[in-house]
Structure 1
Amino acid sequence: MGTTDPPTRPSASARVLVVEDEATIRAAVEQALVDGGFVVGGRGHGGDLEQVLAGFRPDLVILDIMLPGRDGFRLLEVIREHTDAAVILLTARDGVDDRLRGLDSGADDYVIKPFLLAELVSRVRAVLRRRGRVPTAVQYGDLVIDEQSGTVSRAGGVLDLTATELRLLSYLFEERGRTVTKNQILTQVWGYDDYDPNIVEVHISGLRRKLEGRGPRIVHTVRGLGYRLSLPEPR
């Protein structure tokens, strides 16, 4: 998983419950959510879901469909009976009928395995934002990013970023402390990986210039690998 610098977390973090029977996937998802500033709980089955819902009181449940015992569709009914938590279905089944069944049963979103952890965390934020459950702004050191309003500030000063620079910075924030390649950036920010990789260098350069107008460098080049967002070492 790698080591990430801890973000400055909101005072009232949203609570996310992960119900997934594959331990490796569950652990990776839980860690990505913790790194994202969420309060996280996990279960490998839904046998005690009623008690977990009452005790943990999740704002959102990430729910695998193919579970031992009661499957995800049955557990979705349980969630709807006992709480108003948002639900993201997580499954390897990509048939249209399954997706429609889940959404018609009250799921808020549907993510198909395999998936990128950054994408899943972004979807969690998006669903919770629509429900008014999380602050729209996230903070990392002296950097504050508010994707909903489209504003970014550093050290108290608002930065004039383009829409692409905002998407780029938001992606680097989601992967903070980790090195991402140019192809990963192209896929996540532009939606394609067949653009000229030089476009990444151009936008990184512009973003750096604006960020460094308000403080020390936080977008670093990892030679031969890519880029990493990380806070300056304390002096």
Structure 2
Amino acid sequence: MNTTPEHLLVVDDDADIRDLLSRYLQENGYRVTAVADGRGMRAALAAGDPDLIVLDVMLPGEDGISLCRSVRARSQVPIIMLTARGDETDRIVGLEVGADDYVPKPFSPRELLARVKSVLRRSKALPPNLRRVELRWFRFAGWLLDAVTRNLTAPDGVVVPLGATEFKLLRTLLDHPGQVLTRDQLIELMLSRDADPFDRALDVQVSRLRQRLREDAREPSIIKTVRGQGYVLAAVVENAPP
């Protein structure tokens, strides 16, 4: 039985919060690394992959949203965002760039601990065939997606802009070509938590992505609807650089 404690990376410029969370999370069985900014975060990530990141939005220099986006381009490590702002728009932006949960300040350490346990539990709950493979290049039906820069290039060489949710939807489908994904699975894979604001909009996002891919809305050939089940990426996917 593996008794190695799970490793949490706490990124917050407030020394009191770092110390409080470090002590509390360690007392509850976790190994904790605490840093003050993006530079410290990148150094910690270079030293080893944590099991979860607790990331403050309001950081000096590069903010938490940018750091979350950067991490998510190459890793699916769970991320919980901390913020002093309670605006719903900020919360949704955090979720759209790949955060798994969003905790407004002030918060109790006990609440954060519950969120940490919940996010770690969910991250392990997806079956292996639904876990993301960390690749950069995706070729499909003449299209090319660079998962790091998020550039989608059409067969005629035109770069097509993608919104954050469109990118996450396409990336999720590309990770599972030929596999029918239910609506619940797509939402879980894209957002992990608090998917309700996007649940009703999933079909709209699929429609928009089909438009980006120049699909015939009546007879799409790349992203197909499987009636009563969900959606499937019907194209062959190759993982190779241009």
Tell whether the 8 Å contact from 1:90 to 1:112 is kept in structure 2 after alignment: yes
TM-score (norm 1): 0.51
Q: Which of residues 27, 30, 33 is equivalent to 2:25?
A: 33
Q: Which of residues 85, 97, 106 is equivalent to 1:114?
A: 106
Query: Which consecutive unaligned segments of at least 5 residues does structure 2 have?
Result: 126-242
Give the CA deviation at 1:130: 0.6
Q: Which of residues 28, 34, 38 is equivalent to 1:42?
A: 34
Is 1:72 aligned to 2:70, yes or no?
no
Query: Number of matched residues?
Result: 125
Cα RMSD for the two superposed structures: 1.7
TM-score (norm 2): 0.49
Residue aligning to 2:8: 16
Tell whether the 8 Å contact from 1:16 to 1:39 is kept in structure 2 after alignment: yes
Q: Which of residues 66, 88, 92 is equivalent to 1:96?
A: 88
Is 1:129 aligned to 2:104, yes or no?
no
Give the Cα separation in 1 of the matches to 2:19 and 2:29: 16
Give the CA deviation at 1:48: 4.1
Query: Which consecutive unaligned segments of at least 5 residues does structure 1 have?
Result: 1-9, 134-235
Give the Cα separation in 2 of the matches to 1:20 and 1:78: 17
Give the Cα separation in 2 of the matches to 1:48 and 1:23: 13
Identity %: 42
Cα deviation 1:110-162 (Å, max 9, x = unaligned): 001111111101110110011128xxxxxxxxxxxxxxxxxxxxxxxxxxxxx
Give the CA deviation at 1:30: 1.0
Give the Cα separation in 1 of the matches to 2:43 and 2:37: 13
- Structure 1 letter corresponding to 2:107: F
Tell whether the 8 Å contact from 2:54 to 2:81 is kept in structure 1 after alignment: yes
Cα deviation 1:7-50 (Å, max 9, x = unaligned): xxx70221100000000011101111101101110111112433
Q: Secondary structure at the match of 1:127?
A: helix
Q: Secondary structure at the match of 1:106?
A: coil
Cα deviation 1:146-196 (Å, max 9, x = unaligned): xxxxxxxxxxxxxxxxxxxxxxxxxxxxxxxxxxxxxxxxxxxxxxxxxxx
Residue aligning to 2:169: none
Tell whether the 8 Å contact from 1:50 to 1:82 is kept in structure 2 after alignment: no
Tell whether the 8 Å contact from 1:50 to 1:78 is kept in structure 2 after alignment: no
Q: Secondary structure at the match of 1:68?
A: coil
Q: Secondary structure at the match of 2:86?
A: coil
Is 1:105 aligned to 2:93, yes or no?
no
